Structure 1
Amino acid sequence: MKIKLARIDDRLIHGQVSTVWAKEAGAERIIVVSEEVCQDDIRKTLVKQAAPPGIKVNVVNVEKAIKVFHNPKYQAETVFYLFTNPSEVLALVKGGVPLTTINIGGMQFKTGRTQITKAVSVSQVDIAAFRELKALKVELDYRVVASDPKVDFEAKLKEAQSS
């Protein structure tokens, strides 16, 4: 499998992903890696319906994503991975999927999270996962839209931990 883009955006496939990021990725398939979405038939159906024309969408858990990545049958496929959180990204990397960069787009505010940018709120679990990804040499590329300049996401995490 050829990984064209990997992005965390808890809204998954929405206008910005359909019109900009999917085009930016140039992949023939979007793979949504999410235990939560995988178990929610309604959300899974909605995600598939929101896909840009001509792009296949699969919604799988981490275990299946790892198996599919390592299956020689899919070697020539180009993929755009979409995640809702950094812990599942980390599990994929630990499972041998060679992500070199993760684009961080949107992680909505919820109770127990700290807002670190306009679009990203993190929990302590998220911060730990991001730190481990960085230690595994995965670049943390924070950009909400493709045309945004890159932001020092590490500095944002440090700010969140000190507050």
Structure 2
Amino acid sequence: MPMEIRLVRIDDRLIHGQVATVWAKVTKVNRILVVSDDVAKDILRKTLLKQASPPGVIVNVITIDKMISIFNDPKFNDFKSMLLFTSPRDARRVVEGGVKLDTINIGGMSFSDGKKMITNAVAVNSEDIEDLKYLNEQGIKLEIRKVVADNKVYMMDLLKKEKMI
């Protein structure tokens, strides 16, 4: 039995108040895995993320390849994990590497040049849309929810409504 993944979230802010307190409590995780090649190389950011961990939860910042390699490793079977990604591209790469995901929660994707705001917290560009379409085609539910109490908005429905797919 592979590692138990209780929440997968794309949020470019990674660990912030909501994740650290509410999501970790609701999902009863004992591990937060920040999966990002960029963040794994950034010593300062890694240190800050580890310091932001909620009580009783260990934070690890790992590369995409590391996530793929540990997913089926029995050493990690006691992990009740939350996976945090900064982008749909990183989530897609993990899935392409054989990690099984059922649902991805999308919390925040910041606006930058070339992106279009589709909610007050989510902006996408054509690369994001391609990656989200790929994840959807793998049978993964893509729901936008900033906080636990928010109603689920399904990403693909929103992209259709916005005439982006």
The answer, yes or no, to whether TM exceeds 0.5 is yes
Question: Does 2:95 align with 1:97?
Answer: no
Question: Does 2:37 align with 1:39?
Answer: no
Q: Give the aligned partner of residue 58 of structure 2.
A: 56
Q: Deviations over 1:89-146 (max 9, x none)?
A: 1111111111000000001111111111100011211110000000000000111110
Gaps (5+ residues) in structure 2? none
The whole-number CA distance in structure 2 between the counterparts of 1:76 and 1:91 is 24
Shift in Å at residue 84 of structure 1?
0.5
The whole-number CA distance in structure 1 between the counterparts of 2:97 and 2:38 is 19
Question: Does 2:132 align with 1:130?
Answer: yes
Match among 23, 27, 43 for residue 25 of structure 1: 27
- Say how many residue pairs are matched: 162
Amino acid at match of 1:52: P
Deviation beyond 2 Å, 4+ runs, structure 1: none
Does structure 2 retain, via aligned residues, the 8 Å contact 1:114–1:160?
A: no
The whole-number CA distance in structure 2 between the counterparts of 1:139 and 1:28 is 23
Q: Deviations over 1:31-62 (max 9, x none)?
A: 00011111111111111111101100100111
Amino acid at match of 2:111: F
Does structure 2 retain, via aligned residues, the 8 Å contact 1:35–1:61?
A: yes
The whole-number CA distance in structure 2 between the counterparts of 1:76 and 1:19 is 21
Gaps (5+ residues) in structure 1? none
Seen in structure 2, the aligned counterparts of structure 1 residues 160 and 121 have a Cα distance that, compared at 3 Å, is farther
Match among 152, 161, 164 for residue 161 of structure 1: 164
